[in-house]
Structure 1
Amino acid sequence: MDESNADSVVRRDRFSGGPARGFLSSLDADERIFEADLAVDRAHVVMLTERGIVDDETAESILDALEVIEAAGHDALPAGEDVHEAIETAVVERVGADGGRMHTARSRNDEVATCIRFRLREDVLDALEATLVLRESLRTVASDHAETLAPGYTHLQPAQPTTVGHWALSYERAVARDTARLLDAYDRVDASPLGAAAFAGTTFDVDRRRTAELLGFSTVLENAMDAASSRDFLLETTGALSTLATTLSGLAEDLLVFANRGFVEIADDYASTSSIMPQKKNPDTLELVRAVAGDAAAGVTGSTTTLKGLPRAYNRDLQRATPHVWRTVDAVTEATGVAAGAVVTAEWNAETLAGAADEGFSTATGVADLLAQRGVPFRTAHEVVAQAATDADAGGTPIREALADAASAHLEDSLDSYVEAEALDAALDAEASVASRDSAGGPAPVAMAEQLEAVGESLAADREAIADRAGLLEAADELRMEVVSTYV
């Protein structure tokens, strides 16, 4: 062992004991990035060899050791402060002192930042795939129930008739924006910090773009201090996941309310029964989906609070920031899959929905619109219909009679001088009301057909974008292992 390696061992021994060792260690939590660290080690060793910093024979020994360590798995690693140190120790145990050359021209600071980004890309791709499945489920419901009448609510009060399909597409469009936010976050995760070393770069002639290529990163973080210390990508990703979780929470709440009112029955696979009340069917998977928004919000708060006010460059606080994104991405991805399954397997009660679509004089806006189209100022038409609704509700007066009385009180002529009976009947009918709302984005069949076509195009584009990113990672994996095989 040469003098420099002896000094290194002495220094490590000095910091190897004490009551705080367990508190400092992240080895157990680092199991998630075990494979990522091996990939980073391989890419770094290949680059060092290509640059003439490490000789071919040493590279072969190190890369061979990494293969053995990978086969043994994370649980076989020796004790260490983190997975990075434990893998390096295992390499040195197999190779000897030359194994320590693996760490030439890098720090754990840039190493761990690279490993986190490497693994997080895969997790974000999984979350993105889950959003596509949910959107497909919602599109299926929208297509199958484009003309299934349903009540529409504002403030949870009957408002206007709509369709189940229109409701489903409202969530598909929201999840599409969640897909876009995650794609944006992915592209900022997809940048390599490797080669930044502790934070001030290195005196060695490294090729940062080569390691980025071998790891499938689309770009390099140019400033070394930024590369080693920044974790804004964690906060952005957690925030995008939290927004998705909020969308899921609303979807779950709607389905829970609809199930309560008999509009929909959740499939048994997404429900449970009571331990004491045998008649109960509880859609409780959706309650858990709803609750995940709280978990995700906690991830955002935890990340933000940990990162707030940290000085440049590296601080050990960052070790506590990363678990927030792991917990959040796991919870939200799982909840997205559950929501997709619950939506697509649900059974909608068309008869009950149609009855509810007529409740609360839900076609009132259509009647006001009809009067406005016949020359009555809309605000006056609003007053006429509002008065009729009040009279019908209070005295049980039939709505047509109430409208005639209100028109006499507010208009110069009788109601039938403005609106023919046939047109009024259509305005009062829920199905005809929906069919009349054919403006862009409305629930009318013609408008729904346009929306479904646009949704199909959007899904195809996002599917291609996700597949392209996944393909680049697969290609990089193949390239890295192909290059490694020339040494091992």
Structure 2
Amino acid sequence: MAKLWAGRFSKTTDETVNDFNSSIPFDNRLYAQDIRGSLAHSDMLARQGIITREDRDAIHQGLTEILAAMDAGEIGFDPAQYEDIHMCVEQLLTEKIGDAGKRLHTGRSRNDQVALDMRMYVREEAGHIHDQVLHLIDVITDVAQNNTETIMPGYTHLQRAQPVTFAYILLAYVSMLKRDARRLENTLEVLDECPLGSGALAGTTYPLDRHFTAETLGFSRPCDNAMDGVSDRDYCLEFLSDLSILMMHLSRLSEEVISWCSWEFKFIELDDAFSTGSSIMPQKKNPDICELVRGKTGRVYGDLMTLLTVMKGLPLAYDKDMQEDKECVFDAIDTVSMCLKVLPDMLSTMTVLTENMAAAGRRGFINATDCADYLTKKGMPFRDAYKLTGGLVARCIREGRTLEQLSLEELQEESPLFDEGFYAAVDLLNAVKRRNTWGGPSPEQTQEQIALAREFVKNHRKQD
């Protein structure tokens, strides 16, 4: 079948070149955006008197029927028949309505078509992922609400450090996800320009109303420069950067869960529905979901690096290299969406083993700083209190005891400042409750963080 652009050529395209050049095996997912753009474009052409109202009506009828057929899966996307989704739609339309279909492309290039389709697609998918992030925030916040006094060790260098709560650690991930949501919102703002009407690179001699098509398609404005309009993929790069940072956060959370559900920690247990077993070891219960999220993070990073590398040396305006934007964007979207689909249910169904968390806290001397603070508040210089407490910890390690198990007499051998109040000072729950500064782990502060998370979701969720 002859290409719609074949007038300049005396030979048909080599079959191998045709396969290499074709993008319809992957850009067919843009069919709905392509048709919506064509509906807006033909509407504008009729309003401007560039095509007749009758041609506009025929175009709209034909495009509506094609959209319904594609939605129903009735149209195949054969690379031997169609080069890309734009040519596919136009060819099907012309076959259906005749010459009116050939007038649809007036004042338009495939360059501004694909720029529009990708921009609309990323806008929709970024909005969808944004909603998924808000849902994950909701789920994690619910788990945190039930664990504001669930004592566990906080870690630095993967060494037990200070007493915190499970809620507090989860809310740290909520803070990360809130930033992810705001980054996606920024991308949606950045891409809120319509390239339709840019033509190949220099606009057109037809009296297009670009503001009308921008408004019709839900954009705030048309892009300011037609050459930039067809060659800009910054919004794709920003979107892939957003997704890479998001996946980094999901990977860090997954690594925590992998550790927490190991026998070495045993702080949580995943539901059987969100775990897998071993083909040879019957006792195994593996956190494969988290491991896959951790692994797929590298894949999304690769998608970002692919497009950065594609774009780094391109001259203005459009170059065929830019066809390579689609597969990496589509892959990142699919990967991130799947991770965000499975993680909330896994987290909401896990069992929190509170006693194991508390026991780990008791064994890790995570109240040593509280011992030093206790002595400091009684007048001992902090560095002296620090050194004395370190000596007590060393003694406890040698004797297999904890700070709480030292008698008052033993403590007073080290300093007369010790009294009965020491035991309340180093109690783990008390230690957490006293960490009541803004952003701290006390139940009061975590409730405040939970309230902020709820308010964030409420304010950032799209209003119907």
**TM-score, normalising length from structure 1?**
0.88
Partner of 1:165: 167
How far 1:17 moved relative to its partner?
A: 4.1
**Partners of 1:36 and 1:118 within 8 A in 2:** yes
1:30–1:82 Cα contact (<8 Å) kept:
yes
C-alpha distance in structure 1 between counterparts of 2:408 and 2:104, whole Å: 85
1:21 corresponds in structure 2 to 18
For the Cα contact (< 8 Å) 2:149–2:443, is it kept in 1?
Answer: yes
3-state SS, counterpart of residue 416 of structure 2:
helix
The 3-state SS of whatever aligns with 1:20 is helix
Matched residue, 1:411:
none
* Distance in 2 (alpha carbons) for counterparts of 1:399 and 1:77: 71
Report what 1:299 is aligned to. 303
**Cα distance in 1 for residues equivalent to 2:192 and 2:256:** 36
Counterpart check, 1:182 vs 2:179:
no
Shift of 1:436: 1.4
Equivalent AA in structure 2 for residue 286 of structure 1:
C
Return the match for 1:450 from 448, 458, 461. 448
Opposite residue 435 of structure 1, the aligned amino acid is K
Q: Alignment partner of 1:416: what SS? A: coil
Percentage of matched positions with identical amino acids = 35
CA distance in 2, matches of 1:43, 1:263: 56
Aligned to 2:346: 342
**Structure 1 residues 123 and 415: CA distance shift in structure 2, 3 A:** same
Counterpart residue number, 1:237: 239
- Whether the 8 Å CA contact 2:198–2:230 is kept in 1: the answer is yes
- Residue 317 of structure 1 deviates from its aligned partner by 0.5
C-alpha distance in 2 between matches for 1:66 and 1:403: 85
Cα distance change of structure 1 residues 149 and 48 upon mapping to structure 2, 3 Å threshold: same
Paired residue for 1:107?
A: 109
SS for the counterpart of 1:103 is: coil
Partner of 1:223: 225
Would the alpha carbon gap of residues 12 and 89 (structure 1) be closer, same or farther in structure 2, given more than 3 Å must change?
Answer: farther
**1:462 positional shift:** 1.1
**Residues in 1 aligned to 2:349 and 2:4: alpha-carbon distance in whole angstroms:** 65
Q: Paired residue for 1:267, among 257, 264, 271? A: 271
Q: Which residue of 2 aligns with 1:475?
A: none
Aligned to 1:60: 57
Partner secondary structure for residue 145 of structure 1: coil
CA contact (8 A) 1:171 1:247 kept: yes
Q: Is the 1:388–1:402 Cα contact (8 Å) retained in structure 2?
A: no
Partner of 2:126: 124
* CA deviation map 1:22-54 (0-9, x unaligned): 100001111210111000111000000000001
- After TM superposition, the structure 1 = structure 2 runs for residues 46-57 of structure 1, keeping only pairs within 5 Å, are 46-57=43-54
AA matched with 1:87: V
> In the TM superposition, what is the alpha-carbon distance from 1:387 to its structure 2 partner?
2.3
Q: Which amino acid aligns with 2:33?
A: A
Aligned match of 2:335: 331
Alignment of 1:81-92 (within 5 A): 81-92=83-94
Q: Which has the higher helix share?
A: 1
AA aligned opposite 1:315: D
SS in 1 for 2:164: strand
Greater alpha carbon shift after TM alignment, 122-131 vs 366-375: 366-375
Which residue pairs with 1:438 in the alignment?
A: 436
Two-structure CA RMSD over aligned residues (Å): 2.2
In structure 1, distance between residues paired with 2:133 and 2:212: 33
Provide TM-score, normalisation by structure 2: 0.93
Shift in CA distance, 139/9, structure 1 to aligned 2, threshold 3 Å: same
Q: How do 1:330-409 residues align onto structure 2 when only pairs under 5 Å count?
A: 330-396=334-400, 399=403
Q: Measure the CA separation in 1 of the matches of 2:402 and 2:433.
A: 24
Contact 1:77 1:87 in 2 (8 A): no
Alpha carbons 1:133, 1:337 under 8 Å: kept: no
Q: For residues 253 and 342 of structure 1, what CA distance do their matches in structure 2 show?
A: 14
Superposition pairs of residues 71-86 of structure 1, within 5 angstroms: 71-73=68-70, 75-76=75-76, 79-86=81-88
Is 1:308 equivalent to 2:312 in the alignment? yes
Contact 1:37 1:115 in 2 (8 A): yes
Which residue type is aligned with residue 343 of structure 1?
L
> 1:250 and 1:457 mapped to 2: Cα distance?
25
Q: Secondary structure at the match of 2:112?
A: helix
Question: Relative to 1, partners in 2 of residues 1:77 and 1:161: Cα closer, same or farther, differing over 3 Å?
Answer: closer
C-alpha displacement of 1:92: 1.7
Shift of 1:290: 1.6
Shift of 1:404: 8.1
Equivalent residue, structure 2, for 1:427: 425
Query: Which secondary structure state, in structure 2, belongs to the residue aligned with residue 19 of structure 1?
Result: helix
CA distance in 2, matches of 1:13, 1:183: 49
Q: 1:478 corresponds to which residue?
A: none
- Residue 148 of structure 1 deviates from its aligned partner by 1.0
Secondary structure, in 3 states, of the residue corresponding to 1:274? coil
1:354-398: CA deviations, max 9, x gaps? 101112211001111222222222222222212222232235476
For residues 386 and 289 of structure 1, the distance between their equivalents in structure 2, rounded to whole angstroms, comes to 40
My pick for the range that moved more, 104-113 or 67-76, is 67-76
Change in CA separation of 1:297 and 1:398 when aligned onto 2, cut-off 3 Å = closer
Matched, 1:319 2:317: no
Query: CA shift at 1:218, angstroms?
Result: 2.1
Amino acid at match of 1:32: R
**Equivalent position SS for 2:201:** coil
